[in-house]
């Protein structure tokens, strides 16, 4: 019987020691093929390449030591302990075991020699290690030290480090026998001084004793950059392929609506900014092409993205087709529904509203009007791309707060509009300004327009940070503002009291503020309310019936109340910069000077101090976003689980963003000169279909 052939594409079960049960556990680490083990990089490294004298041990260090057993005894101090005292002539060390067998206890005979590795702690009788890894040495056997640093891998329950090291060793052996193709062109490697793929993988799994551990732990070693670069390149190529496919598809050119949209712009009670006019022209030019527009509008809070989207929708509807607007929350979708209805109803444009919480009769009526084309504009949440929603002639899709949706969701709505005329045009918007390098990674399939100008007369919001010990002063400030005819927000991260987190709970804060400010009309809005209750609370605040609105971060987007001039944010030190900037953007929409008070719980750590200082010093969303990327990473900047950003195995967008310009250059060069290698890189990192290829 011929032995099973082993290569990097083989399932893990070809490796020695892996049965179905272990394969299932490894699957939780997203390990399925031999090759996957090569890209499971260590979290850190331990130095077992040299012995440390017992007399030189320092508490807190992890090290390899050797000694002779001087004493072994079982003691009962609350629980059973096995204490083994070893010495090497320079000092002594106690090994403490809580879980041990008689057989194990019998191994530690007086005079036995052993090496052990563990963390040194201060014990009652000097330095000690608790449950160290150890190896008993036979007579005349020399102390064994490793040739390379010892990797510590991401672990899952039931899979020990020793097992992972053994499996990666087998995978490295297979790789040496059948090395993967070197797909990065030499000129790309040379430009960035990157090593070969095989050399980088071996080095990261088994670094030599003299490796720069500080550089490795920071993720900045050339070998790590080699893998991160190729992974970023794979994702970028995948998105560009998606873009190329879209550009080759037909779309209905929307020509002929210009007269209607120009009249609408002329009738507005305000003038568009130069930035709004520029972005509008870019969008209308795209919509006139016979291929689908795929454009992202970036704009800071209050920059006027919504009116630009309205002009695009009006231009489409004037061409006898449907436009759809999708928002991630009912609150934001409702805000768009109100705004667009106010603009479009006087023009005789019929609209439909669709959300997950709709009553059956209203939903049925909406679905009918969407399907027969009576609804020219459709506004809603992700319910728009669910089964049972059939458009009559959808030619423009507008998605707000794009960072809350993934590429798959975006594409699903786009597919809803496929008809005899082709694919719909797509316009996505975000109020979260995104640094250029991050946008290159996240939105490589989109053209980007930036509204980098605020409407005239907008005054920057004055921002201060105060400790919670000064909360009474803040309450008095709220009282003064509300009695002077202004309105205020008071934002708390949680809805109810939590035993785990001591954030201020919105419901508790509401009760306290209503009691402390009897002359002020106080309201409460949070995400667990029924949509009708939220709508009622938000409308009451907008209409001025509520002077102080206590809320969770549900009001981060979608609320436009020009009379609100004061924003209080509790526990500001625990929130992301971009989220705080979004909240701050809820005020400053009227003629009066607005203020934002960031209330924090002292003492502030260095990172929290730096973050709050950014908000005090800048109202520029792009500056805030860049600092957020540097301090917190892309997950915070673009939202966490909802970003639609791919899960990177090696790359870290915050750390490796500086590679993106070179990634872009390499991608264009490879698509032109080595398309086969470009496709192979995508397959290596994303699988045969690519992450987005079959969407």
| Strand ranges across the sheet with 595-600 | 462-467, 595-600, 564-569, 487-491, 548-551, 522-525
Give per-residue pLDDT as tens, 657-668: 889 999 999 999
Q: Judge if 135 and 56 occupy the same domain.
A: yes
Q: Report pLDDT digits (tens) over 516-557.
A: 999 999 999 887 787 778 878 888 898 899 999 999 877 755
Please name the helix (run of DSSP H) or strand (run of DSSP E) that holds residue 48, with its range, or none: none
Least confident of 270-279, 378-387, 490-499: 490-499
In terms of C-beta density within 10 A (0-12 exposed, 13-18 middle, 19 or more buried), how is residue 193 classed? exposed
| pLDDT higher than threshold 90 for residue 309 | yes
Give residue 405's pLDDT: 64
Our CA dihedral for 189, 661, 652, 625, rounded to 10 degrees, sits at 160
**Whether residues 476 and 525 fall in one domain:** yes
* 292 lies in some domain: yes
Does residue 654 fall inside a structural domain? no
Q: Which of 136-145, 339-348, 496-505 has the lowest mean pLDDT?
A: 496-505
**351: phi then psi, degrees, rounded to nearest 5:** -125, 160
What is the band of 559 on the pLDDT scale with cuts at 50, 70, 90?
Answer: low
- Note whether residue 358 is domain-resident: yes
Task: Name the residue with higher pLDDT: 362 or 557.
Answer: 362
The average pLDDT across 353-372 equals 91
The full DSSP string for 277-324 is HHHHHHHHHHHTSSS--EEEEEE-TTS-HHHHHHHHHHHHHTTT-EEE
Structure tokens at 515: 């009691």
pLDDT of 677 strictly over 70? yes
User: Same domain for 540 and 599?
Assistant: yes
* Signed CA dihedral, 50, 53, 59, 64: sign only: positive
> What sign for the dihedral angle of Cα 622, 641, 157, 83?
positive
Q: 286 versus 558: which is more confidently predicted?
A: 286
The boundaries of the domain holding residue 108 are 50-145
Q: Which of 618, 645, 662 is the last residue of a domain?
A: 618
Look up the pTM and report it: 0.71
Mean pLDDT of the chain: 86
Same domain, 164 and 109: no
**What CATH number is given to the structural domain containing 58?**
2.40.50.140
| Residue 289: inside a domain | yes
Do 534 and 606 reside in the same domain of the chain?
yes
d(CA 540, CA 529): 15
Instruction: Please indicate whether residue 508 or residue 286 has the higher confidence score (pLDDT).
Output: 286
Structural domain total, the chain: 4
Tokens of 274: 């130069």
Out of 106, 127, 145, pick the residue that ends a domain.
145
Query: CATH number for the domain including 379?
Result: 3.40.50.300
């Amino acid at each position: 019987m011929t032995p099973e052939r082993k290569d990097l594409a083989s399932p893990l079960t070809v490796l020695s020691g892996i049965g179905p049960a272990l394969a299932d556990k490894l699957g939780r680490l997203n390990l399925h093929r031999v090759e996957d083990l090569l890209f499971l990089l260590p979290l850190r490294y331990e130095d077992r390449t040299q012995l440390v004298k017992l007399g030189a041990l320092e508490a807190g260090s992890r090290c390899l030591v050797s000694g002779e057993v001087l004493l072994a005894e079982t003691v009962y101090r609350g629980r059973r302990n096995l204490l083994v005292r070893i010495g090497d002539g320079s000092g002594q060390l106690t090994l403490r075991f809580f879980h041990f067998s008689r057989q194990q206890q019998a191994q530690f005979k007086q005079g036995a020699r052993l090496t052990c590795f563990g963390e040194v702690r201060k014990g009652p009788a000097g330095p000690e290690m608790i449950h160290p890894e150890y190896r008993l040495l036979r007579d005349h056997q020399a102390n064994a030290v490793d040739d390379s640093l010892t990797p510590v891998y991401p672990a899952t329950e039931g899979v020990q480090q020793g097992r992972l090291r053994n499996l990666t060793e087998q995978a490295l052996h297979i790789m040496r026998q059948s090395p993967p193709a070197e797909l990065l062109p030499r000129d790309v490697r040379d430009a960035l001084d990157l090593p070969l793929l095989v050399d980088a993988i071996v080095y990261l799994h088994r670094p030599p004793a003299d490796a720069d551990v500080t550089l490795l732990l920071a993720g900045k070693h050339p070998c790590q950059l080699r893998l991160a670069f190729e992974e970023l390149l794979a994702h970028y190529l995948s998105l560009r392929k998606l873009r190329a496919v879209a550009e080759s598809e037909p779309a209905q050119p929307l020509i002929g609506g210009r007269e209607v949209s120009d009249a609408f712009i002329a009738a507005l009670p305000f003038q568009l900014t130069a930035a709004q006019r520029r972005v509008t022209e870019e969008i209308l030019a795209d919509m006139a092409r016979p291929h689908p527009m795929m454009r992202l509008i970036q704009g800071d809070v209050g920059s006027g993205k919504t009116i630009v989207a309205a002009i695009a929708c009006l231009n489409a509807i004037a061409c006898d087709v449907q436009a759809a607007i999708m928002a991630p929350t009912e609150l934001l979708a409702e805000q768009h529904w109100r705004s667009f209805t106010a603009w479009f109803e006087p023009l005789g444009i019929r609209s439909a509203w669709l959300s997950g919480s709709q009553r059956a009769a209203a939903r049925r009526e909406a679905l009918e009007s969407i399907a027969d084309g009576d609804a020219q504009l459709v506004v809603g949440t992700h319910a728009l791309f669910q089964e049972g929603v059939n458009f009559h002639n959808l030619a423009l899709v507008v998605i707000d707060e794009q960072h809350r949706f993934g590429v798959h969701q975006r594409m699903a709505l786009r597919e809803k509009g496929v008809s005899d005329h082709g694919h719909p045009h797509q316009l996505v918007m975000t109020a979260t300004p995104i640094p250029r390098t991050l946008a290159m990674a996240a939105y490589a399939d989109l053209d980007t327009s930036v509204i980098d100008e605020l409407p005239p007369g907008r005054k920057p919001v004055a921002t201060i940070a105060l400790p919670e010990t000064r909360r009474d002063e803040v309450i008095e400030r709220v009282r003064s503002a509300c009695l002077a005819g202004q309105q205020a927000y008071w934002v708390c991260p949680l809805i109810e009291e939590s035993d785990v987190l001591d954030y201020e709970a919105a419901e508790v804060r509401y009760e306290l503020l209503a009691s402390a400010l009897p002359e002020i009309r106080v309201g409460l809005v949070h995400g667990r309310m029924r949509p009708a209750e939220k709508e009622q609370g938000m409308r009451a605040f907008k209409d001025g019936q509520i002077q102080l609105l206590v809320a969770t971060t549900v009001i981060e987007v979608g609320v436009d109340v020009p009379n609100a001039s004061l924003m209080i944010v509790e526990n500001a030190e625990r929130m992301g910069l971009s989220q705080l900037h979004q909240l701050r953007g809820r005020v400053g929409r009227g003629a009066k000077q607005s203020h934002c008070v960031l209330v924090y719980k002292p003492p502030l750590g260095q990172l929290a101090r730096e973050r709050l200082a950014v908000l005090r010093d800048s109202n520029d969303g792009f500056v805030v976003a860049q600092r957020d990327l540097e301090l917190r990473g892309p997950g915070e900047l673009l939202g966490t689980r909802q970003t639609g950003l791919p899960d990177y195995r090696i790359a870290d967008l915050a750390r490796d963003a500086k590679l993106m310009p070179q990634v872009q250059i390499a991608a264009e060069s490879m698509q032109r000169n080595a398309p086969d290698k470009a496709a192979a890189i995508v397959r290596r990192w994303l699988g045969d279909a690519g992450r987005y290829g079959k969407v």
